[in-house]
Structure 1
């Protein structure tokens, strides 16, 4: 079996590369996860992408329900490992013994804060894994704001909201890109001299963005985020912080 992980960008079908379109049409089966009623739009977007670019009549599209992560386990790392084990088992069940080429459509790029590659390593027998890169939310965010990610010759760090909240500003970084932040962790930092470029659903029709000194726009971002999540049932947001 060949398992192809296809980066599909941030939900905009125009983010698909020609390589991604070819890969989608080369599959014998494409798996589409369902993440529950509150995130039904995510499955719909994958279906829409297939409807727009899948022209191979022999490709089977199979949907399956993702298991819910057990938040009761106190050890975060163990929670994630157990959840990945459960997801791998659902993949196997959805494949139902199928061989050939099987594809998964991955948000953004499979290499950046995505666990699809780690889950794939749990499959037995181990498949041949192919990866098709995709546009990331970080690229879509910098494009939306028309900014570079780094200052001239300067380093930047990509991290998570959990890491920013628990450990503060990363040492040695002039700029910090923050992903997977469910609670606006930038609120835990001293806002003096901090500038933020924030966006949700970047690259999509629903895109919303905000930028400015953290001290001035924090309340606005929190309100925009809450309203967008209530409207859509889910939210994917990302931001960049810089010290001035």
Structure 2
């Protein structure tokens, strides 16, 4: 029987690994580490470092592979993502077959948590043959961001919404909530909002040595965040950030 373990590894700090994650890493016959190009080599290096720190099972093998790149030029966003996920699934299937065949335990170390704005579960269900899928939860970027700012996410008795930068930019402030968590923002979607009455708590490279955090009134902090984000992306070649917006009643 083939089992695929999707193991949440937190947001960059190896100290965020749970005991369950460490156990799942050591139970694997094979750990697959995706490479996302030179610009994002830090992400593969972090996974290598985690394995070096916690992997004690000498029988566990590690294999690296190049991750397919999404065609950002496709005008149909969902179709483009679908095609990309199909390509990734085919790559996973090929790597698994070449290393363990049709039986064994294979692990992928997932940034954050596989359940939150991550496509690993959708991709895993496209594998051929379809494995038994096991999920080991991890610390999410939302948890890490709130902890870094010592911020409770929700106000007393109030809901919050988690959305993407694209949805915020296209749809504006969501109705019915005063707290919005924004992830997967390829730019700075908060610039499309009227800043009056809004506060922001922003973080990039959470849990990593290059962690950056800023907060304040959006009208004042927004321009600082835009400048810091551009400088960080230029320096590292990539950026992974998220932020929380709160609207004062």
Shorter-chain TM-score bucket reads over 0.9
Q: What are the equivalent positions in structure 2 for 1:30-69 lying under 5 Å apart?
A: 30-69=31-70
TM-score by length of 1: 0.98
Task: Structure 1: give runs of 5+ residues left out of the alignment.
Answer: none
Range that drifts further, 216-225 or 156-165: 216-225
Separation of aligned partners in 2, 1:183 and 1:89: 30
Q: What is the CA deviation profile of residues 125-167 of structure 1, one whole-angstrom value per residue up to 9, with x for unaligned ones? A: 2110000000001000000100100000100000000000000
Question: Which residue is equivalent to 1:83?
Answer: 84
Q: CA deviation at 1:97?
A: 5.5
Q: What is the CA deviation profile of residues 28-87 of structure 1, one whole-angstrom value per residue up to 9, with x for unaligned ones? A: 000000001111111011101101111111001000000111122210000000000000
Find 1:239's aligned residue among 224, 243, 248.
243
Question: Which residue is equivalent to 2:104?
Answer: 100
Task: Structure 2: give runs of 5+ residues left out of the alignment.
Answer: none
Contact 2:93-2:129 within 8 A present in 1 as well = no
TM-score by length of 2: 0.96
Q: In angstroms, what is the RMSD of aligned CA positions?
A: 0.8
Q: What are the equivalent positions in structure 2 for 1:169-208 lying under 5 Å apart?
A: 169-208=173-212
Find 1:137's aligned residue among 123, 137, 141.
141
Point out 4+ residue stretches in structure 1 off by more than 6 angstroms. Answer: none
Separation of aligned partners in 1, 2:237 and 2:144: 21
Q: CA deviation at 1:11?
A: 1.3
Separation of aligned partners in 2, 1:159 and 1:72: 23
Matched pairs, number: 244
Q: Name the SS for the 2:230 alignment partner.
A: helix
Find 1:117's aligned residue among 115, 121, 130.
121
Separation of aligned partners in 2, 1:196 and 1:136: 19
Question: Which residue is equivalent to 2:220?
Answer: 216
Separation of aligned partners in 2, 1:161 and 1:72: 18
